[in-house]
Amino acid sequence: MAIERETPVFIEGKPLTDIWAPPGLRWRARLSEAIGRPLLHPYLRFVRNDRNPFDLDNLVYPVLAVSGCGACASIWATVSAGPTEGVWIDEAIPPPPPASSSTVTVRIEQPSVASVAGRQPPPELRHVKEVAPGSPLGLSLAFDAPEVAVGEMSWEGPTKSLIDDLGPLLGTRLYRGRSVSNDQRVKELRITRGHAPGGRGVVVTAWALEGGPQPGANLAHRAG
């Protein structure tokens, strides 16, 4: 069943991060069958029932790769635990970040455009404290420029490279002997663009999630 604008579609199966290797080909085929047209404002709600750590952006990227990374004007994604694994695919414009006691907002004037191992975090994060250590987080990336390729979530894209730089905000963990951003804490991701045409910066907001990601019924910002 291909996706219609007003009808969310659930694709059952374990969401995988690699759809180009043999183990992920079945997941890729399911995504291709269900996504009938490019998603402009993808709203993706992933469900997994294992304990393996993973990055939410790595779950999102295969869906966008099948739909068309270049078509994305915004991204809203969540991941939660549940008995039936899969992903709900819909279209909705992400709402603004919530105003709560845990919310931290930082503006970065020159975000990186590609992931490089061992790179120092942006100077704006030098004195930022980790947000709500130990808690799952929501993360909003609001880019200035309207032409930022928000859907390009590979290593060469602007979104993953920025998330990889957020260690001071998200905390860090050891990966293959080196310290990396603990973005596995991010269970809700909102990415938008065009907030300040002519600018090159991004406003990064992180907050503690109370009771899990935003409920799936919250579609007040549904794309038209």
Whole-number pLDDT of residue 135: 93
- Residues 149-168 have a mean pLDDT of 88
Report the range of poorest mean pLDDT among 71-80, 87-96, 152-161: 152-161
Residues 84 and 122 occupy one common structural domain: no
Whole-number pLDDT of residue 117: 61
Last residue of a domain, one of 58, 91, 124: 91
**221 belongs to a structural domain:** no
Residues 15 and 40 occupy one common structural domain: yes
**DSSP secondary structure letter of residue 7:** B
CB 109 within 8 A of CB 201: yes
Whole-number pLDDT of residue 19: 80
3-state secondary structure (DSSP) of residue 138: strand
Is the pLDDT at 95 greater than 90? The verdict is: yes
Residues 109 and 185 occupy one common structural domain: yes
Residues 109 and 87 occupy one common structural domain: no
Last residue of a domain, one of 40, 65, 91: 91
Residues 159 and 81 occupy one common structural domain: no
- Residues 73-95 have a mean pLDDT of 94
Q: What is the number of structural domains in the chain?
A: 2
Q: What is the pTM of this model?
A: 0.88
Residue type (1 letter), 219:
L
Is the pLDDT at 96 greater than 70? The verdict is: yes
3-state secondary structure (DSSP) of residue 146: coil
Whole-number pLDDT of residue 211: 64
**220 belongs to a structural domain:** no
CB 3 within 8 A of CB 37: yes
Helices (H) and strands (E) in the chain, counts: 4, 10
Residue entry with tokens 């709600």: 45
pLDDT tens digits for range 185-206: 999 999 999 999 999 999 999 9
Residues 162 and 185 occupy one common structural domain: yes
Task: Name the residue range of residue 158's domain.
Answer: 104-208
224: how many CB neighbours lie within 10 A of its CB?
7
**Backbone angle region of 144, left / alpha / beta, with phi > 0 → left and psi within -120 to 50 → alpha:** alpha
**97 belongs to a structural domain:** no
3-state secondary structure (DSSP) of residue 71: helix
pLDDT-derived band at 88, boundaries 50, 70, 90: very high
Whole-number pLDDT of residue 220: 38
Last residue of a domain, one of 31, 61, 91: 91
Please give the C-alpha separations between residue 191 and each of 75, 94, 145, 146, 184, in angstroms, as whole numbers.
5, 7, 12, 12, 17
Q: Are strands 86-91 and 104-108 parallel, antiparallel or unpaired?
A: unpaired
Is the pLDDT at 30 greater than 80? The verdict is: yes
How buried is 41 (Cβ within 10 angstroms: 0-12 exposed, 13-18 middle, 19+ buried)? buried
The Cα angle at residue 74 between residues 126 and 98, in degrees rounded to 5: 60
**DSSP secondary structure letter of residue 133:** T
Residues 142 and 179 occupy one common structural domain: yes
Residues 79 and 131 occupy one common structural domain: no
pLDDT tens digits for range 97-149: 998 888 999 999 999 876 666 678 899 999 999 999 989 999 999 999 999 99
The CATH code of the domain that includes 135 is 3.30.1330
**197 belongs to a structural domain:** yes
Residues 190 and 122 occupy one common structural domain: yes
**Backbone angle region of 134, left / alpha / beta, with phi > 0 → left and psi within -120 to 50 → alpha:** left
Is the pLDDT at 177 greater than 70? The verdict is: no
Residues 24 and 68 occupy one common structural domain: yes
pLDDT-derived band at 213, boundaries 50, 70, 90: low
Residue entry with tokens 């635990």: 81
Whole-number pLDDT of residue 2: 46
Residue type (1 letter), 210:
E
pLDDT tens digits for range 47-62: 998 777 678 998 999 9
Residues 37 and 117 occupy one common structural domain: no
**125 belongs to a structural domain:** yes
**119 belongs to a structural domain:** yes
**49 belongs to a structural domain:** yes
**44 belongs to a structural domain:** yes
Residues 46 and 113 occupy one common structural domain: no
Indicate the average pLDDT of the chain: 86
